[in-house]
Structure 1
């Protein structure tokens, strides 16, 4: 399987300028290709991404766009490949229609040429060679293998630090597994209820630490909003240096919240995998449909349920554990984990499951996780 790692880069100011240029050109090439495809579609002209890429390469030869040659050619070439992949997902009905990338909202990132990446060590410091940028010092706890080819290397900026993520072929973890099936029921009150773990995995968003950060974020957002209103000139908002400083501070607070939530999910999934079950069963989740409910959409977004499922899936694959997704209509919450009867009149407000037949009294989420653990795939 492919194992991905992420290392923190420590570029110089000159290297950072080139990295921002690369990210900007990657975004420009993607948006240019998307605009070209939409224009040809409106005019009824049949064209492929390959045709747009050839036209873009000719554009780079003109004096007006000679700045596109200041970075690696692979940066813009891969942007068209990314656009091609986005259209394929759209036509296969696995994603939405490709959208233009925003300089303000989208994360700055670009592709690094895989066969030009070289890792070296000098005077106890670690360096990575990236085409057109040079040797960049990096920090990592990983033992990175020296390979001739790395898979899909990307350089990204999270608002504070630069990172290089890449993949390489790696064998699965050969560890002895117990003959146990584990069921996981995800929720909003608690992140996850696991059938073979006594206590549910807590919702990190309800802790005092996260609440304090969210309170700080709200205050900063109000502050920047007042400054925008104060500097408003008719229908136009004037952006001052103080507003820019506040917006950078808001980005860093958002970054901190994201990192706390991702770290919590990594710890939760590791906790489940370390029990060494032979099988993990999770319920089917229609995240897009759930997000349409205005009352719980924010809570679902903060819980990062899709990210939990994604991490659980690849960690199971890496450790040789069977990952099973239960059928969409499997009544995990309404079924009694003791006698198997289905309670059709169970309401969402009923947090304790009481069976009318065998008298079982169990927490609703715990009962659902036990049912998921006992789930059998239909032939």
Structure 2
């Protein structure tokens, strides 16, 4: 049986690698803010009566980025293209959530229009889906453009699964929390189907007043029924 599972490790990057990680995170934020500024600029142009296309989707944002990146970010080659794609993807998802919320397609509290992101505020991260992404050994991982990075903890849990073909890495998300860098690998893992210990046994379950469930074996669920005190009050 295949399932998705995440493996998270604290990183111990060199000073150079730490600067590169910060640069990738900044590139993601730059692409997000650039795309948002472009969307607002096009919306204002529409209000003036101009016939312009507003890039709402990720595909449209990517087309605009590829047309303009040499002018707006001539240094873009210093980082992996995944950093800019992650920023545009975040913006596209934010725009979709806003419109779905406004039209009633999205349940829950209303979602506001995306806002510009500021350095040092919110979660700093970048997601890699292509390039060199792997667990190299028990204490190192490899990331696109960053290279081989040492980890604070052993990666054995994931390494053994990958080496035995019981896990396949799909993506890696690097984030900074509390001044430290972490990497989270999203993997497709092979798991054994769960088997009951006593497949032929049968048990009856009854919803109780004091307890959420009482089994025919006499065993009671330890969790107290949250409605029990209300029932006791009504009887009093």
User: What is the TM-score when the length of structure 2 is the normalising length?
Assistant: 0.69
Higher relative contact order, chain-length normalized (CA < 8 Å, sep 6+): 2
Change in Cα spacing, 1:169 to 1:40, as seen in structure 2 (3 Å) is same
- Tell me whether 1:53 sits opposite 2:55 in the alignment: no
The residue number in structure 2 matching 1:108 is 124
- Other structure's SS at 1:10 match: coil
CA distance in structure 1 between the partners assigned to 2:94 and 2:168 by the alignment: 24
Paired residues of 1:113 and 1:130 also in contact (CA < 8 A): no
Summarize the alignment of residues 212-231 of structure 1 with structure 2, pairs less than 5 Å apart: none
Residue 199 of structure 1: how far off its partner (Å): 6.9
CA distance in structure 1 between the partners assigned to 2:96 and 2:154 by the alignment: 35
Residue 119 of structure 1: how far off its partner (Å): 1.8
Out of 178, 200, 203, the residue aligned to residue 159 of structure 1 is 178
Paired residues of 1:60 and 1:69 also in contact (CA < 8 A): no
Summarize the alignment of residues 56-205 of structure 1 with structure 2, pairs less than 5 Å apart: 56-62=65-71, 65-93=73-101, 94=106, 96-97=111-112, 98-121=114-137, 125-138=138-151, 139-140=153-154, 142-144=157-159, 145-146=161-162, 150-171=169-190, 174-176=194-196, 198=222
Paired residues of 1:75 and 1:110 also in contact (CA < 8 A): yes
The residue number in structure 1 matching 2:232 is 354
Residue 352 of structure 1: how far off its partner (Å): 6.0
Paired residues of 1:116 and 1:130 also in contact (CA < 8 A): yes
CA distance in structure 1 between the partners assigned to 2:127 and 2:204 by the alignment: 42
Summarize the alignment of residues 230-379 of structure 1 with structure 2, pairs less than 5 Å apart: 353-357=231-235
Change in Cα spacing, 1:149 to 1:77, as seen in structure 2 (3 Å) is farther
Change in Cα spacing, 1:194 to 1:333, as seen in structure 2 (3 Å) is closer
Residue 158 of structure 1: how far off its partner (Å): 0.3
Paired residues of 1:33 and 1:53 also in contact (CA < 8 A): no
The residue number in structure 1 matching 2:11 is 9
Structure 2's unaligned 5+ residue stretches are 47-51, 214-219
Residue 174 of structure 1: how far off its partner (Å): 0.9
Count of matched residue positions in the alignment of Structure 1 and Structure 2: 199
Residue 194 of structure 1: how far off its partner (Å): 7.3
Q: What are the Cα deviations for residues 254-283 of structure 1, in whole angstroms up to 9, with x where unaligned?
A: xxxxxxxxxxxxxxxxxxxxxxxxxxxxxx
- Other structure's SS at 1:2 match: strand
Residue 10 of structure 1: how far off its partner (Å): 1.2
CA distance in structure 2 between the partners assigned to 1:77 and 1:155 by the alignment: 14
CA distance in structure 2 between the partners assigned to 1:88 and 1:181 by the alignment: 44
Residue 181 of structure 1: how far off its partner (Å): 7.2
Residue 198 of structure 1: how far off its partner (Å): 3.8
Between structures 1 and 2, the one with greater helix share: 1
User: What is the TM-score when the length of structure 1 is the normalising length?
Assistant: 0.45
Change in Cα spacing, 1:54 to 1:130, as seen in structure 2 (3 Å) is same
Paired residues of 1:112 and 1:153 also in contact (CA < 8 A): yes
- Other structure's SS at 1:354 match: helix
Q: What are the Cα deviations for residues 190-238 of structure 1, in whole angstroms up to 9, with x where unaligned?
A: xxx97665477xxxxxxxxxxxxxxxxxxxxxxxxxxxxxxxxxxxxxx
CA distance in structure 1 between the partners assigned to 2:89 and 2:174 by the alignment: 16
